[in-house]
Amino acid sequence: MDIVYQESITVEDYNLLREAVGWGALCKEQAQSGLEHSAYVIGCYDKEKIVGTARIIWDGGYISYLADVMVMPDYQGLGIGNQMVQMAIDFVKSQLKEGWKIKIVLIAAKGRETFYKKFGFNERPNEEAGAGMDLWIGG
Ligand SMILES: CC(C)(COP(=O)(O)OP(=O)(O)OC[C@H]1O[C@@H](n2cnc3c(N)ncnc32)[C@H](O)[C@@H]1OP(=O)(O)O)[C@@H](O)C(=O)NCCC(=O)NCCS
């Protein structure tokens, strides 16, 4: 195994991962647009083979979103997910300026909450905060 983390991923590789984890491929134009407008993209490769991805969408201010954390099923449990989440958090940290604070938001897949909690993410709802919510448009 020759694992390398780079700051890019092709649309084809991104869709391979989506299919492998059961999220389904996006149409090429939409996937490309999402990747291009992300502030930070990780593509994890074993030689030429895509094995993982994660990305940060950030408004340049105080809100960022950790999206599309995916590891190929036959590469799961090797620490790749942990590494990519840490890299994503480190990227956001690196963008802080004097007096700034940035919130990283994510929506955990069902049962994946514990994967994120050890990085400091708060599970919602809790005593102070309501549940996260979402709304799909189209499709
Ligand atoms: C969730 C996912 C990204 C984890 O990636 P991974 O490379 O297998 O994770 P790691 O090997 O780095 O393990 C990270 C930690 O998460 C734990 N973990 C792994 N899979 C888990 C799961 N399904 N549920 C809860 N914890 C899990 C591991 O035990 C490990 O714990 P530790 O750090 O305390 O030892 C991967 O299972 C995946 O791609 N799943 C399908 C897509 C998905 O659900 N993504 C998350 C969307 S919110």
The tens digit of pLDDT for each residue in 68-120 reads 999 999 999 999 999 999 999 999 999 999 999 999 999 999 999 999 999 99
In a domain, 127, yes or no: no
**pLDDT value of position 91:** 98
Q: Which of 23, 76, 86 to mutate to test the pocket of ligand 1 (most atoms within 8 A of CB)?
A: 76
What atom of ligand 1 comes closest to residue 108's alpha carbon? 48
- β-strand pairing of 40-46 with 49-58: antiparallel
Domain encompassing residue 10: 3-117
pTM: 0.95
Residue-averaged pLDDT of the chain: 97
Q: What's 23's DSSP letter? A: S
> Which two tokens mark 117?
């909690």
**Residue 56 near residue 38 (C-beta atoms within 8 A):** yes
Give, in order, the Cα–Cα distances in Å from 119 to each of 35, 57, 83, 93.
24, 18, 11, 13
In a domain, 139, yes or no: no
Alpha carbon distance 55, 45 (integer Å): 15
- Domain with 60 in it: what CATH number? 3.40.630.30
Closest to 16 (Cα-Cα) out of 55, 54, 49: 49
What atom of ligand 1 comes closest to residue 113's alpha carbon? 25
> pLDDT tens digits, residue range 15-69?
999 999 999 999 999 999 999 999 999 999 999 999 999 999 999 999 999 999 9
**pLDDT value of position 139:** 79
Q: Is the CB of 114 under 6 A from ligand 1?
A: yes
Q: Is the CB of 57 under 6 A from ligand 1?
A: no
